[in-house]
Amino acid sequence: MAWELVLWLFAFFSVISLIALTAYQLICLSDLEFDYINPYDSSSRINAVVTPEFVVQGVLCVLFLLSLHWFPFLIMAPITYYHSKLYLSRRHLLDVTDIFSLLSGEKKYRMIKLGFYVTLFIVVIYRLVITAVVMLVDEDDHPLDSRIF
């Protein structure tokens, strides 16, 4: 049962990092839209965090599959498939020359991903709390079973 708590703690911190990476990408795109940053800096900053985001999301999805947590796995499977499709077709990085023409679409895409990650965060927090409470209740029910008198 302790491994399940470790899984949900790992999922908690992973989803927080996914939310932070997506918010960082949105901030970079907003800065570009308002001319606070140039296109090269914006695209290089976003491209630096896209691959780690895909890796964290893929590892989390595989962990849910291997631990037989079907609901979170089925929630994450479509976006993991989409990320792998983008990565394999080499369309996951932003191009400096096309960034202004794709700006509104990229912002919408990141906003949808942010909403998805926040929804996943709510599910992970719920499961983390339930797992922790069940572990505490099970620990308190049988305090004398492990002692020999």
pLDDT digit of tens for each residue in the chain (149 aa)? Answer: 688 999 999 999 999 999 999 999 999 999 999 989 999 999 999 999 999 999 999 999 999 999 999 999 999 999 999 999 999 999 999 999 998 899 999 999 999 999 999 999 999 999 999 999 998 888 766 555 544 43
What pLDDT was estimated at residue 149? Answer: 36
pLDDT of residue 104: 93
Number of structural domains in the chain = 1
- How big is the chain, counted in residues? 149
Which range of residues forms the domain containing residue 57?
2-137
pLDDT of residue 2: 84
- 26 Cβ contact list (under 8 Å, min separation 6): 107, 110, 111, 114
Helix H, strand E, coil C: the string for the chain is CHHHHHHHHHHHHHHHHHHHHHHHHHHHHHHHHCCCCCHHHHHHHHHHHHHHHHHHHHHHHHHHHHCCCHHHHHHHHHHHHHHHHHHHCCCCCCCCCCCCCCHHHHHHHHHHHHHHHHHHHHHHHHHHHHHHHHHHHHHHHCCCCCCCC
**Residue 65 is assigned to a structural domain of this protein:** yes
For residue 62, tell me if it sits in a domain: yes
Q: Does residue 26 belong to any structural domain of this protein?
A: yes
Residue 105 domain flag? yes
Task: Decide if 146 is inside a domain.
Answer: no
**Structure tokens of 19?**
């939310």
